[in-house]
Amino acid sequence: MTVPALRVSGLSVWIGSGADSIQVVDGVSFDIDPGEATGLVGESGCGKTMTAMAILGLLPSTGVRVSCDHIEINGRDVSRLNTAQRRKVLGRDIAMIFQQPATALDPVFTMGQQISAVYRRHADGNQRRAHEAMLASLESVGFERPEEIAQAYPHELSGGMRQLSMIAMAMVCKPAVIIADEPTTALDSSTRALILHQLQQLQALHGTAMLFISHDLGVVRQSCRNVMVMYCGRLIEKTDCQNLFSHARHPYSAGLLSCIPQLGATRPGRISSIPGQVPALADLPSGCHFAARCNRSEPRCSESTPVLDAQDKKGVACFRPL
């Protein structure tokens, strides 16, 4: 039994304070093993990014409340660390790749300066060794002339090159876990394939665990072995990708899959959509949040909440799964 690279259990996030607070993440628990890539999919606003920010402890201290049983990286609980201790973890043991490389990088420092700064902060203060590590990292994401990239400012690079540099920055300390928040959404499709390929290669090379957040099931299928589906702040199904596409068990997952237009289908069939609307987070129904939109629901669905077995890799939070 290996120790999971990232273990999250019982993570909840509320926005606002007191009686007006809205729960945006509700009891999220999962494990990711070293070298494993797990996708987190769901519609926008379902709490995916909130989950990632809460894991890193990046949510603002005012107006947001976070609670969890524990968040472990390689078996070490990082959720109870104070700010100074947490800073040592961020970037060294767990790193994040953001959605918009154009704004997520500092425009007035070169890529080299930004990447070396991460290395010097966590690994080795020596300027020359940091420079070498930075160049090696840039090379490892596939740049043939890392020196040129190192001397470039973010605005001098294309979107894809910026995202590759961002990946190089995430990988420079060889963290145990990488969280990629919609890393390819802002890019065109040919660049997307390149980025996904590089991410997979690096992951295999260093045995890095990855939490891959996306609303795009197709991208998740390309890059992840396992997948978790999120709806209104809760994980509702965990399975591996193949299984999800062939035998989705939660009615919502099945609905989500049927929304993907089939390329090369002989006759353009109707693009289906899930009936009803996502309930407002401020006013969630009791029981299963999906019950009202579900064609398989029965009375107990709105009375009690179906639960997902916390650390299992597969499971579904539904009383009447498909």
Rounded to an integer, what distance in angstroms lies between the CA atom of residue 89 and that of residue 131?
21
Rounded to an integer, what distance in angstroms lies between the CA atom of residue 274 and that of residue 254?
10
- Residues 126-165 binding other proteins (CB under 8 A) are 153, 155-156
Segment near other proteins (CB under 8 A); pick from 24-32, 94-102, 189-197, 235-243: 94-102
Minimum CB distance to other proteins smaller for 83 or for 266: 83
- Residues 274-313 binding other proteins (CB under 8 A) are none
Query: Counting contacts by CB under 8 A, is residue 96 touching other proteins?
Result: yes
CA distances (Å), 296 to each of 43, 140, 247, 293, in order?
A: 21, 49, 16, 9
CB 263 within 8 A of CB 272: no
**Amino acid in position 271:** I
- Residues 163-182 binding other proteins (CB under 8 A) are 169
- Residues 58-77 binding other proteins (CB under 8 A) are 58, 62
SS3 sequence, 15-61?
Answer: ECCHHHCEEEEEEEEEEECCCCEEEEECCCCCCHHHHHHHHHCCCCC
Q: Which of 8, 25, 37, 89 binds other proteins (CB under 8 A)?
A: 89
Query: Counting contacts by CB under 8 A, is residue 108 touching other proteins?
Result: yes
Query: Counting contacts by CB under 8 A, is residue 185 touching other proteins?
Result: no
CB 72 within 8 A of CB 154: no
Binding site for other proteins (CB under 8 A): 56, 58, 62, 86-92, 95-96, 98, 100, 103-110, 117-118, 121-122, 153, 155-156, 169
